[in-house]
Amino acid sequence: MCGGWILVRIEVRQGDITQIAVDAVVNAANDQLWMGGGVAGALKRSGGREIEVEAMSKGPIPVGEAVATTAGNLPARYVIHAAVMGQDLRTDAEKIRQATRNSLIRADELSIRTIAFPALGTGVGGFPLGECARIMIDEVMQYSVGGSALERVVFVLFDEPAFRAFRHELGSRTGQPETL
């Protein structure tokens, strides 16, 4: 934090997270790290099965934890697999908070400057979009105050409702609807 300003740039975009050119993309993972549907399935289809093979070799991990793998054929260098749910496919606010924070920690460990997040836990996990946006943006803001190599965090939301929820949340905090 410098003079009350947060040092990381936060962006909200609608689009396909598999197509964004950043250092790392975050996968909304389960604790076993197998990549089935949703964001995980899209990352595996675009990046290659080797992402899942490497991820599963590092699992299982506790819900709320995160591990990094290479990104296969994706435009990113890494995939950070954030375990936001277990085999019961349920999540909650604390799991989303921990998974977001641990993804940011893994990013710093890898000296990543740019990272893209989906809306963790809102697909299969069924978590409410507005609450997810509040939690994830809050975690990014809190984490950046402590000092980080991160320069840019992009929330890449596939559909219009998710995009609107994250844009609204960021706008309510900054007075600017798309970036900080």
Q: pLDDT per residue over 128-176, tens digit each? A: 999 999 999 999 999 988 888 899 999 999 999 999 999 999 999 877 6
**CA 5 → CA 112, 115, 170, distances in Å?**
21, 20, 15
What's residue 37's pLDDT? 87
Inter-residue contact 61 to 106 (CB < 8 Å) = no
How many domains does one find in the chain? 1
* Local confidence band at 5 (pLDDT 50, 70, 90 cut-offs): very low
* Local confidence band at 89 (pLDDT 50, 70, 90 cut-offs): confident
Burial degree of 103 (CB within 10 A; 0-12, 13-18, 19+): buried
The Cα 134–Cα 66 span in angstroms is 20
pLDDT in tens, 31-56: 999 998 889 999 999 999 999 999 99
Burial degree of 136 (CB within 10 A; 0-12, 13-18, 19+): buried
In a domain, 4, yes or no: no
Domain that holds residue 77: 9-174
Inter-residue contact 170 to 163 (CB < 8 Å) = no
In a domain, 136, yes or no: yes
Predicted confidence (pLDDT) at residue 180 exceeds the cutoff of 60: no
Handedness of CA 71, 115, 157, 62 (dihedral sign): positive
In a domain, 87, yes or no: yes
CATH code, 142: 3.40.220.10
Tokens, residue 87? 């085999």
Using alpha carbons only, give the angle 11, 6, 104 rounded to the nearest 5 degrees: 65
How does the average pLDDT of the chain come out, rounded?
92
Cβ neighbour number for residue 106 with a 10 Å cutoff: 21
In a domain, 97, yes or no: yes
In a domain, 77, yes or no: yes
